[in-house]
Amino acid sequence: MTSTKPTSADRKSAESASAAVHVGTSDPRTLIMNNLRQSGIFVALVVIVALFAFLTDGLSLSPGNITNIVLQYSYILVLAIGMVIVIIGGHIDLSVGSVVALTGAVSAVVVIRQGQPWWVGVLAALVVGIAVGAWHGFWVAYVGIPAFIVTLAGMLLFRGLTLRVLDNISLSPFPAEYNRIAAGFLNGLIGGDGYDAFTLLIGGIAVAGYVVSCFRTRAARVRYQQPVESFALFVARMALVGAVVMWFAWQLAHARGLPIVLIILAALVLVYGLLTRRTVFGRQVYAIGGNLSAAMLSGVKVRTVNFWIFVNMGFLSAVAGIIFSSRSNGAQPAAGNMFELDAIAAAFIGGAAVTGGVGTVVGAMVGGLIMAVMSNGMQLMGVDQSLQSVVKGLVLLVAVAFDVYNKRRAGASR
Amino acid sequence: MVSTDDNILEMRRITKTFPGVAALQDVTLAVRRGEIHAICGENGAGKSTLMKVLSGVYPSGSYDGEILLDGAPVHFRGIRDSEQRGIVIIHQELALVPYLSIAENIFLGNEQRGAGGLIDWNRTNAEAAKLLASVGLDENPMTPVVQLGVGKQQLVEIAKAISKKVRLLILDEPTAALNDIDSAHLLDLMRRLRDEGITCIMISHKLNEITAIADSTTVLRDGRTVERLEMTSGEVTQERIIRGMVGRDIDSFYPDRVSTPGEEVLRIEDWSVRHPTQDRLVVDGANLNVRAGEVVGIAGLMGAGRTELAMSVFGRAYGRDITGRLFVHGRQVRARTVAEAIGNGIAYATEDRKRFGLNLIEDIRRNISAAGLRRLARLGWVHDNEEIKVAETSRRDMNIKAPSVMSVVGKLSGGNQQKVVLSKWLFTDPEVLILDEPTRGIDVGAKFEIYTIINRLVADGKAVIMISSELPELLGMCDRIYTLSAGRVTGEVPVAEATQEKLMELMAKDKESVG
């Protein structure tokens, strides 16, 4: 667990390299091995992206397809943010698919059936999601029922309520404003010839913000006499991140512009990345998952923390529910089926430990992207649905096997 | 020496070493056929290790020396081997499966099969009923074990041993968790078993029980046999046994300290705690206090309620129905949660740092900040550079040997882990530190460092309560020592007047004589 900004692959690897430079006592090989769990998934993502770019003759990296991936998998990534926090705390949530369906259904009833404005639907969905989270949190934290059971019950319960709310039929279509949440783009605001200048501008602002934050972190490190990487490496790292972000923005600018969901997702990743690393709450989640008894005897209010973990999961499920209902332009009784499994898989592929206490939001995002790029690539290649499922299953298994192997190795050297 | 023919068991020159430690050295043990033989010794004297050697938990070849059963050498490779020869050990922590019935537990691994290899339930239950009658337990064999109290569970264990045709029954602290009535019942049963020809070995801290029931006693100290005492004459007193158990010099490896106690920091009055699941008091009306600049010891045998007392004071982290008053600096406080206890300046460093003290998968830095994280935070945001600084300061002050404060705590040695635990609690800036077995499982050099740290703390005006099973450690470190027996404070001894014999006597005092 190094303290890095939740930004990108190269930062992480640069971080381990910097440690190698400044902690003279350990040899670089050990450091690389120790950081393999962290950096390994970034390597895996790059390999998978390259593999599918090759297999699809570059089609997977085309502007249109990149936009598609963002639109198609954003709600899974939103769920994965909440799920990785649940898993770090040592729990699991099997109900998120049903909660996505329920919140989408409530929103659809409010907006489509009752004719309320779009934002009333959004608010209603969020309230329902938070209430569901509080329900789970109550049973897990205050009654002491294992989350597996509570959320398994929730999965059935909220699927049933979804059917009730929708009277067993699909509702559609949403008004255009609601559709814009998942299908809308911010573009053409400042023109551009064949591309969207606004998207590039936002990309530029993001890179600038990243650079500023890096400099500030570095300055603080120096002030506290902490080791920092060499200046050349520092600049190279920022240049690489900047290049990747700008290339990404360039591709989007040549397709349909900046998707609104991407802005929502980026904001959530930023906020939750900081929440898990930099707040008392986030630290306590890691402490509880790492050693429950020790956390309790260190004065952590375990029940309160567990309660809020689930309230937060409910909130993010509602966000995902809104995005999904907006994207599918309506609410269906079977919406969100199996989403929980995709979110759980993303968290575990991203390095979260089955026993709790380990995991990062960025890791879960990369894990989710690995699943997304694989599914998308196989679809582009026309691979059979059944085979897709087999491949995804094997990837999950190998990822967790790697984690278990890693832990056993660490345990043996103890 | 008794002639070999009479001995059912002889263990000769048993030596067992663990990496860096000799747990047993040239231990001899001779047990006569049909007697009750007691084994005494302080915690860590090697009693349990010896029994593990005997029962094959440590297989033949992993120790030196020989074991003779009925005069012939035996080589056990596991518990199954020793059980086949009629040696059964009943551990302090009972090994019953809670949700299986009494009969199923008795015949676990030894199922009564009928036609076609299927379990013959009628025979199982009928045989179990007979066995229960023989140990005087009036319960339906189909009752799940979880519904029985500890005393009755112990009887089920003995019935199970009898079903295995036991000839040599070993009981490890059989009465530690029992109330007086159950203890008396168990001792009666042991006498009856002896009269039926079953030899018993009993490990016990309760010297009154040993003088009452044992025919002979072997005393161990520091992994060596001290002596073998014949008890049948009735001349061997508890004091005589104690002398054998503690007769060693206090090593002079306790750093010197000038003691200048100041004002009272913590006081506990009429403190009583009930066991979380069983209906008995584990702490019974305890009174104690500690002053600034003072180290106060708590001595007690296993099961005396030391840890339970400490944890119940520390934000009611143990037990239920806690009654009594708690004062910090003369002001009565309510510490109903751990967070409140920390807020009132109380810190508790656990005896089991791996299970209760540390997050082993996290680094040094985050373990140190775990209890006092709010000191590093403003509006819920942790100042992480400040956190590193705090950790670095601790690493230097405590001399934690690790490449960096980002090193994972699980990979450190016991002594360094303990320093991390101490750092964590010092960062909460406590008024009083309760240290539960602060030197358990760490090597001599690190022990000295821990002692030095403790002395530094009291010199800075902190109050320290130190719980330890090692009497020399308490005598070397403390200003005053409280003794605890069966949940009651049985004595308060200034260190100048304290001897191991005196403490041991107070620690072994039973309820009746306390009054």
CB-CB under 8 Å, B381 with A294: no
- Asked if residue B458 belongs to a domain, the reply is no
> Cα separation of A106 and A314, whole Å?
14
Spatial CA neighbour of B24 closest among B55, B47, B1: B47
- Lowest mean pLDDT: which of A163-167, A408-412, B116-120? A408-412
- With CB atoms and an 8 Å threshold, state whether B337 touches A294: no
A88 — pLDDT class (breaks 50, 70, 90): very high
Same structural domain, B99 and B207:
yes
Q: For A339-389, write each residue's pLDDT tens digit.
A: 999 999 999 998 888 889 999 999 999 999 999 999 999 999 999 989 988
**Residues B117, B234 within the same domain:** yes
Cross-chain residue pair A293–B356, CB shorter than 8 Å: yes
Do residues B357 and B226 both lie within one domain?
no
H or E element that contains B331: strand B331-332
Higher per-residue pLDDT: A21 or B369: B369
Q: Clarify whether residues B412 and B497 are in a common domain.
A: no
Q: Which residues of A touch B373 (CB under 8 A)?
A: 280, 283-284
Structure tokens at A268: 């959530």
Closest CA to B347 of B339, B359, B356, B358: B339
Closest Cβ opposite residue A297 in set B317, B385, B410 = B317
- The amino acid occupying position A310 is F
Name which of A26, A277, A280 is nearest B373 (Cβ-Cβ): A280
User: B335 and B195: one domain?
Assistant: no
Query: Is the CB of residue B515 less than 8 Å away from at least one CB of chain A?
Result: no
Cβ A279–B341 below 8 Å, yes or no?
no
The pair phi, psi for residue A39, each rounded to 5°, is -80, -20
DSSP string, A24-88: TTS-HHHHHHHTHHHHHHHHHHHHHHHHHHHHTTTGGGSHHHHHHHHHHHHHHHHHHHHHHHHHH
**CA separation for the pair A196, B174 (Å, rounded):** 81
More confident residue, A305 or B510: A305
Domain boundaries, chain A: 35-187+256-407
- If you count residue pairs, one on A and one on B, with CB atoms under 8 Å apart, how many are there? 101
Banded pLDDT at A234 (limits 50, 70, 90): confident
DSSP state of B338: H
Residue B138: phi and psi, rounded to 5, are -95, 80
Q: How many DSSP H helices and E strands does chain B contain?
A: 17, 22
* CATH at B154: 3.40.50.300
Q: Which two tokens stand for residue A275?
A: 């929440």
Number of domains in chain B: 3
Measure A34 CA to nearest chain B CA, in Å: 11
Is B447 within the bounds of a domain? no
B337 and B353 co-located in one domain: no
Boundaries of domain holding B323: 263-344+432-438+463-515
**Closest Cα in chain B, distance from residue A225 (Å):** 9
A227 preceded by cis ω (within 30°)?
no
Which of B429, B454, B480 represents a domain boundary (last residue)? B429
Do A233 and A2 touch, CB atoms closer than 8 A? no
Instruction: Give the whole-angstrom CA distance, residue B365 versus residue B369.
Output: 6
**Nearest C-alpha neighbor of B207 from the set B511, B505, B515, B487:** B505
**Do B196 and B122 share a structural domain?**
yes
Q: Per the structure block, which two tokens stand in for B308?
A: 């339970």
Residue B328 pairs with which residues in a beta bridge? B266, B331
Q: Report the SS3 class of residue B103.
A: helix
Among B496, B473, B56, CA closest to B246:
B473
Pairing of strands B64-69, B7-18: antiparallel
Neighbours of B459 (CB within 10 A): 13
Kindly state whether residue B154 falls inside one of the protein's structural domains.
yes
The DSSP string of B48-93 is: HHHHHHHHTSS-TTSSEEEEEETTEEE--SSHHHHHHTTEEEE-SS
B333 and B365 within one domain: no
The pair of structure tokens assigned to B221 is 């100290």
For residues B136 and B285, state if they share a domain.
no
Is there a domain that residue B482 lies in?
Answer: yes
ipTM over 0.85: no
Fold of the A35-187+256-407 domain: ABC transporter involved in vitamin B12 uptake, BtuC (1.10.3470)
Report chain B (515 residues): mean pLDDT per 10 consecutive residues. Answer: 70 83 86 92 80 90 91 90 91 84 90 84 91 90 88 90 91 80 88 92 86 91 88 82 69 76 93 88 92 93 88 91 92 92 94 90 93 90 90 91 86 87 94 91 77 92 91 90 92 91 84 44
Give B342's contacts in chain A (Cβ within 8 Å): 299
Chain-chain contact of B382 with A278 (C-beta, under 8 angstroms) = yes
CA distance B362 to B344: 27
Question: Is the Cβ pair A357, B406 closer than 8 Å?
Answer: no
Same domain, B158 and B240: yes
Residue A30, pLDDT score = 52
| Whether residue B239 is found in the same domain as residue B269 | no
State the smallest CA–CA distance between residue B411 and chain A in angstroms: 5
Give the separation between CA B151 and CA B128, rounded to whole angstroms.
18
Quick one: pLDDT at residue A398? 87
Tokens of A221: 């490190």
From the number of C-beta atoms within 10 Å of its C-beta (0-12, 13-18, 19+), residue B46 rates as buried
Q: At residue A138, does pLDDT exceed 60?
A: yes
Indicate whether B237 and B193 sit together in one domain: yes
pLDDT of residue B240: 82
